[in-house]
Amino acid sequence: MERKVIYFEKPGKENTSACLEVAMQAIKDNSYKHLVVATTGGDTGILFSEALKTSEVNLIVVTHSAGFKEPNTSEIPNDVIEKIKSNGAKIYTGTILTHSLETAFSSKFGGLYPTLIIAQSLRRFGEGPKVCCEIVMMAADAGLIPEEEEVLAVAGTGRGADTVMVVKSAASKRFLDLKVLEIRAKPRA
């Protein structure tokens, strides 16, 4: 089997449109039923939800948890959430699996903890690949996608998208069953 992989010169939101093209082509070529997309402020979520508005693809848009940046705040405005939902996508807002209670303990007491080691290990491939793995597990944990199925995942570094992967889904409880099957696009830097 041969697949084309897109390597971007550098990470960042300037790759978002190209990632949308990669994802749309993958859906066309392989009939993927589920697409999980990370969004911070909502721009990526809107772009993907508008592009997939008339499709049969189950689009899950994953946001940061409330209070991620500071207490009692959300990074994505309510009107943006409503726009994404009106396009037929589902929104999931929850705790990032590798940025949870252990981060608080590490900040307070120092030391390394398993989820922080996992996050740093996944970052060897880039921030986007790490996030792709996280959002697939988060969506499976929420029951928004089935486990043990090939799904497309799109994420990025900071804002926008710069990574597209095919992942065999698993819930976080079965993290060791999660498989990165293909990398379709990612930054080299």
| pTM metric for this prediction | 0.93
> Strands 163-168 and 6-8: what pairing?
unpaired
- Where exactly are the structural domains of the chain? 6-187
Blockwise average pLDDT, block size 10, the chain, 189 residues: 94 97 97 97 97 97 90 92 98 87 82 86 95 97 98 96 98 96 96
Q: What is the dihedral of CA 129, 96, 76, 139, to 10 degrees?
A: 80
At 103 the pLDDT is: 79
Task: Give the gyration radius of the chain's Cα atoms.
Answer: 16
Q: Pairing relation of β-strands 150-155 and 179-187?
A: unpaired
CATH tag for 6-187 (out of 1.10.3720.10, 3.40.1380.20, 3.30.70.260, 3.90.1150.10): 3.40.1380.20
Total number of residues shown for the chain:
189
